[in-house]
Copies of this chain bind each other. A is one copy, B any other.
Amino acid sequence: MGLTIRDVAKAAGVSTATVSNVLNKRGKVGRRTENLVLSTVKRLGYLPNIHARRLASRDTRTLGIIVSDVENPFFPEIIKSFLARTRQLGYDAILSDTNYDPRRTQEAASRMMAHNVGGVAIMTSEISPKLIDELVRRKIAVTFLDHAPARGYVSTLRIDYASGIEQSVRYLHKEGHRHIAFVAGRPTLRSNIIRLEAYENIMQQLGLKPGPVLHGDLRFEGGLAAGLAIGKMFPRPTAVMAVNDLTAVGVLKGLIKAGCRVPEDISLIGFDRTRLAEYSNPSITTVDIHRDLLGQMAADVLHELVSSPNPQGKVYEISAELYIGNSSGPVRSE
């Protein structure tokens, strides 16, 4: 195909080993020769073949990221910062989308192993313990989002959902709300359960009866249905909290369709602080979980795990902060 290291070596009148040494900056090469090689590489426009490189050097400078849905606004920012960070750290990165399908998750993991990655960030929940074991057995570093407990090769980024929910409820309470609905996600996902339980706990702590709880699907459609339902309730809650922004945007639309004004008639709070919350009319009060940092952290954590001689998986806590938009305010007494 293209040029090989041999072509460069020949053109520069040195051995392939020397070219390789120059390209990988391992010292051992005189300044004159180094410059000669470098200029030859540039002149010829030589590019090392990644596959040959990865094959020959046992060390695996590739990191993977598995997400459940590239289209879900939760992920792009994470992907972007992961890609940017891995590049900075000198890794190659590969992405797989599982489309929420456990079988595809298995495939994605296999792909990662076939690529001989040093580590993989698993940002999806549909993953079996068996799979984790396999990754660990192959000494592949792993970071999860709110999932497995940390151990040797496994670190976890744990988002403080509970705190985010608590801040939201306390804020609504301070604004006079007493009747607060919650639109949850599927109760099969740990992170959804955590959020729902946090909501119930803090409500009780404040002496409030946990309001109606509806079940969405983490998507727009589920939120829309929930919003319509809530808008027609009697008595109607004065505030709604949604499990994520996408749901919140749906809820907003549902409420408006049902003839409610937001925030005049009903306050609304989302979660994740995606740009959707900002784009919305009114902009949505939401909880910032620093998604832009998430991808970067995942890369950093994997890098640490990969380069450590004796890796120690850790749990990293990611704080959540209420971010006030225009979809919430004091309760109106009519």
Contacts and interface: CB of A to CB of B under 8 A. Distances in A.
Nearest to A62: B51
Interface string A43-86: 00101111110110010000000000111010111011001100
A75 B50 CA distance: 27
Given A80-B71, A279-B253, A114 B48 contact: yes
A49 B99 CA distance: 25
A134 B96 CA distance: 28
B45 A55 contact: no
Interface in A265-316: 275-276, 278-281
A92 interface: yes
A107 B218 CA distance: 36
B83 A50 contact: no
Nearest to A92: B111
Nearest to A109: B47
A15 interface: no
Given A70-B83, A275-B220, A95 B95 contact: yes
Given A50-B116, A52-B55, 16 more contacts: A47-B110, A47-B113, A51-B52, A51-B54, A55-B55, A71-B76, A71-B77, A73-B73, A76-B76, A83-B95, A83-B97, A84-B97, A94-B94, A94-B95, A253-B279, A256-B281
